[in-house]
Amino acid sequence: MRILGTNSCKSDSSMLAAYSETLGAAVMRRKTAIALRAARVEAELASKTKSEFIANMSHELRTPLNAIIGFSDMMISMSDIPPEKVAQYSGHIKEAAEHLLGLINSILDASKVQAGKLAVDPAEMDIEELIEGCQMIIMPRAREKRLLVEWKPSGELPPIMADHMRIKQVLINLLSNAVKFTPEGGRITIHSELIDDGETVRIAVEDTGEGMTPAEIDVAMRPFGQVNNRLNKKNEGTGLGLPLSAALVRLHDGKFGIESEKGKGARVFFTLPVKGPRQKPGRN
Ligand SMILES: Nc1ncnc2c1ncn2[C@@H]1O[C@H](COP(=O)(O)OP(=O)(O)O)[C@@H](O)[C@H]1O
Ligand SMILES: [Mg+2]
């Protein structure tokens, strides 16, 4: 930089330059220290989340695997197993294997979503028929907990353009959460309605369970996020259901939301445009 003026001005300016250089260096050092600390905190958080996830995952994978190994061992070592036992043990093995498959699929889906590689494949479907099917799937577990599951089909919903398999995945996630986080004797209500002058379908799953605070909802919506409550047994579930469901709804150009009050239950809803997503399927 050229400095114009008298000699004294010149020395003032050079002092000023030296001073600002020192100050600049100090600011830079401070900024670097802050950035380093932030990076360290972030890395610690990521590694904590990762190690918690690995701990949860290994438990989740080991439980069904142990069941598979245990029941097949019994079948191998026992001679003359009564036929009804064979059916029973094979049933347990199949159930554990299906559970494992579901788990691995949701981990793969979650990583596809994160990489922006998950595409939906919309086709005409009957949403009320899907709700009925999902309700049947969760009923055995709901019955065990003496939960009342209510849904009165309006019978008026038009066929919609959506990815049947993905919407089923969303609804099963929401219903199984409602079953899991509602204490015995509670109630689950499914609402399905046409809104926006017939352009949108809204499905809501309401329960009388544990509920969440706004901060807990934020945690629940994060990948692998689980909220501590008395029904959330340690190491159960992966914490992927809600973020994955929200991502699948967004891929349909729908909205996803949770309304809840701690101790009073939760209402999780999603909307789907009747005509299907605007973007072309397979865009991702
Ligand atoms: N209906 C609900 N009522 C209360 N808490 C819920 C409900 N649904 C989800 N949560 C909380 O959000 C967390 C994340 O849910 P989700 O992503 O489905 O994972 P997971 O079911 O595997 O724990 C749950 O662990 C639970 O703490
Ligand atoms: Mg879940």
| pLDDT tens digits along 230-258 | 777 654 677 889 999 999 999 999 999 99
User: Would you say residue 281 lies in a domain?
Assistant: no
Q: Tell me the average pLDDT across 62-74.
A: 91
Q: How far is the CA of 65 from the centre of ligand 1 (A)?
A: 24
Ligand 1 within 6 A of CB of 181: yes
Atom 25 (ligand 1) nearest CA: 226
**Each residue of 171-221: pLDDT tens digit?**
999 999 999 999 999 999 999 999 999 999 999 999 999 999 999 999 999
Give every CB contact of residue 32 below 8 A, 6+ residues apart in sequence.
none
Residues 129 and 110 in one domain: no
What proportion of the chain, given as a percentage, has pLDDT over 90? 56
Residues 51 and 168 in one domain: no
Ligand 1 within 6 A of CB of 266: yes
Which of 157, 154, 195, 190 lies closest to 268, judged by CA? 190
Q: Tell me the average pLDDT across 263-270.
A: 96
Whether residue 26 has pLDDT greater than 60: yes
* Domain interval for residue 213: 125-273
Decide: 52 and 224 in contact? Cβ < 8 Å. yes
Number of helical H runs and strand E runs in the chain: 6, 7
Residues 17 and 49 in one domain: yes
Choosing from 78, 95, 117, the residue where a domain stops is 117
User: Would you say residue 282 lies in a domain?
Assistant: no
The ligand with the least distance to the CA atom of 176 is 2
Residues 83 and 191 in one domain: no
User: Would you say residue 280 lies in a domain?
Assistant: no
Element (H or E) spanning 265, and its range? strand 265-273
**Each residue of 99-140: pLDDT tens digit?**
888 778 888 888 888 888 899 999 999 999 999 999 999 999
Q: How far is the CA of 227 from the centre of ligand 1 (A)?
A: 7
Residues 54 and 70 in one domain: yes
Which pLDDT does position 48 carry in this prediction? 67
Residues 152 and 112 in one domain: no
Ligand 1 within 6 A of CB of 238: yes
Ligand 1 within 6 A of CB of 227: yes
